[in-house]
Amino acid sequence: MYFLTVVLKNLSRRKLRNILTIVGVGIGIGAVVSLVSITDGFMKSFTEMLKSRGTDIAVTKAKNPDVLLNSIDESIGEELKKIEGIESISRVLVDLVSIEDLPSVMIFGFDPDEFIFEHFKIIEGRKLSRDEEDMVMIGKILAKNINLKVGDKVEIEREIFRVVGIFESGNVVENGGIVMNLKTLQRLMNREGYVTVFNIKLKELEFTDSVINQIKTKFPGLEAMTSEEITRNNEGYKMAKALAWATSFIALFVGALGTMNTVFMSVFERTKEFGLLRAIGWRRRRIMLMVLGESIILGLIGGALGMAIGVIGVHLINQIPIVKGGIVGDFSAPLFAKATAIAIGMGIFGGFIPSSWASSISPAEALRYE
C-alpha cells in the first residue's frame, strides 16, 4: 500500500458526492477548453486567411485601430519596393458603401496585376481586369444576399457598374463584399492617391524582422506587422478572448467553491479519523497532504472530464444549422496544459482551507468529537 492508496480509497467513500463535484469542475474546465479553443481557432483561421492572400507583412497607419479610417499615401509604395527582401507589393483600399437595402457593404479596391488578386477564386463569370473601370466582382455571400448574377447592374455611389464575376476568397469578410479596380474606387470615394494597406510579399521569410524594422525606422507613422500580429492586435479578437476567459472564470470559480464544499464536508465527517491518525503519530503535514491530495485528484479527474466536455462541446455547436462547421476549435497542447494547471489550481483552492483545518485539530479533542 502506498500513501496514494490511502488518498484514493478516501475518495471511494461518498461516490455520488465526489462524482457531482467532478462534474462541477468538469463544466468549468469544459468552458475554458471550448471557449478559448474557439477564439484561438478563429484567430488561427484569420491568420491563415491573411497568409492565403500571400501577404507576409501588412503595412498600415500606426496607432489606428480602425482599418477603414486608414489612409496612407500611395507613393510610399514605391519607396517600400526599394527595401531589400521585398518581392512585391499589393495596394488595397477599403471603404464602406451602401447597396440597395444594405447600409454598409465592404468595398475593396485592388490592382488586378498585383499578387494579392490571385487569391480570388471565380465561381461564376470571370476575373476583373485592369482596364475595366465600370465592372465589379462580388463575393458569393453578397451575391446570394441581394440576389445578383453575372451581367446584372448594380448602383454604387450613384454610378452604375456591371457584375463581371462572382468569387470565393476563403474568408467571410471578402465574400460579403465588392471588389473593383483600385483607381476606380479611389475616384469614386474621393480618396485619390491613398490606400488603406500595403500587402508585402517577401523573397524569403527570414527577411521578416529586418523588413519590419526598416519600415518602422524609415516611416515612423506606419505600422508593419506579420499576419499573426495583425490578428493578435485585432480589437475584436482581444475582446472575444477576454470574454472567453471571463465567462470561464465564473464557471471555474463555481467549480472551485463546489470542490471546497465537498472537501469541507468530507473533512468534518472524518474529524475522529484525523484524531486517530494524529494519535498514532501522523504529523499535521501528512494530514494536510492527504486532504489536499484528495482535493487535487478531484480537480484532476474533473479536468480530464472537462477537456472531453470542451472537445465534444465544440463538435456539438458545429452541428447547429446556422453555425454549420463555421467554428474551428484550436485544441492546442498549451491549452490542454493550461486546463490541467487550472484543474490542479482548483483542487488546491478547494482543498487548502479544509486541509489546514483538518491538520490543525487537536487529537485529544477530535477523538472525543461526536
Partner 1 sequence: MNEIILKAENLVKEYEEGRVKALRGVNLEVKRGEFVAIMGPSGCGKSTLLNMLGALDRPTSGDVIIDGERLSQAKSLDEIRLKKIGFIFQAFHLIPTLTALENLQIPMIEARIPRKERLKMATELLKIVGLEERMSQIPPKLSGGERQRVAIARSLANSPSILLADEPTGNLDSKSSEQIITLLRKINKTRGMTIVLVTHDPNVASCADRIVKMKDGILYT
CA-to-CA distance for 151 and 226, rounded, in angstroms? 38
Minimum separation from the CB atom of position 292 to partner 1 (A): 16
DSSP string computed for 218-287: H-TTEEEEEHHHHHHT-HHHHHHHHHHHHHHHHHHHHHHHHHHHHHHHHHHHTHHHHHHHHHTT--HHHH
11 to 50: interface string for partner 1, x by CB under 8 A: -xx-------------------------------------
Q: By CB under 8 A, tell whether 124 contacts partner 1.
A: no
Residue 288 to residues 285, 296, 304, 351, 354, Cα–Cα distance (Å): 5, 12, 24, 9, 9
Residue 131 to residues 155, 180, 314, Cα–Cα distance (Å): 19, 11, 47
Which position among 10, 21, 259, 355 is part of the footprint of partner 1 (CB under 8 A)?
A: 10
Report the candidate in 267, 259, 270, 283 with the shortest Cα–Cα distance to residue 3: 283
Stretch that binds partner 1, among 10-18, 33-41, 119-127, 217-225 (CB under 8 A): 10-18
Q: By CB under 8 A, tell whether 338 contacts partner 1.
A: no
Q: By CB under 8 A, tell whether 362 contacts partner 1.
A: yes
CA-to-CA distance for 165 and 186, rounded, in angstroms? 21
CA-to-CA distance for 64 and 187, rounded, in angstroms? 24
Minimum separation from the CB atom of position 43 to partner 1 (A): 48
Q: By CB under 8 A, tell whether 286 contacts partner 1.
A: yes
Minimum separation from the CB atom of position 280 to partner 1 (A): 5
Nearest residue (CB) to partner 1, 273 versus 330: 273
Nearest residue (CB) to partner 1, 132 versus 273: 273
Nearest residue (CB) to partner 1, 91 versus 278: 278
- Enumerate residues 264-283 that contact partner 1 by CB under 8 A: 272-273, 276-283
Minimum separation from the CB atom of position 270 to partner 1 (A): 9
Count of residues of this chain found to bind partner 1 when the rule CB under 8 A is applied: 25
Using only the alpha carbons of the chain, give its radius of gyration: 30
DSSP summary character for residue 68: G
Which position among 1, 16, 160, 322 is part of the footprint of partner 1 (CB under 8 A)?
A: 1
Q: Where are the beta strands (DSSP E) in 71-156?
A: 72-73, 86-99, 102-110, 121-125, 135-139, 153-156
Which position among 116, 169, 228, 364 is part of the footprint of partner 1 (CB under 8 A)?
A: 364
Give bridge partners of residue 102 from the DSSP assignment: 99
Nearest residue (CB) to partner 1, 14 versus 191: 14
Q: Are strands 222-226 and 102-110 parallel, antiparallel or unpaired?
A: unpaired
Minimum separation from the CB atom of position 31 to partner 1 (A): 33
Binding site for partner 1 (CB under 8 A): 1-3, 5-6, 9-10, 12-13, 272-273, 276-284, 286, 362-364, 367
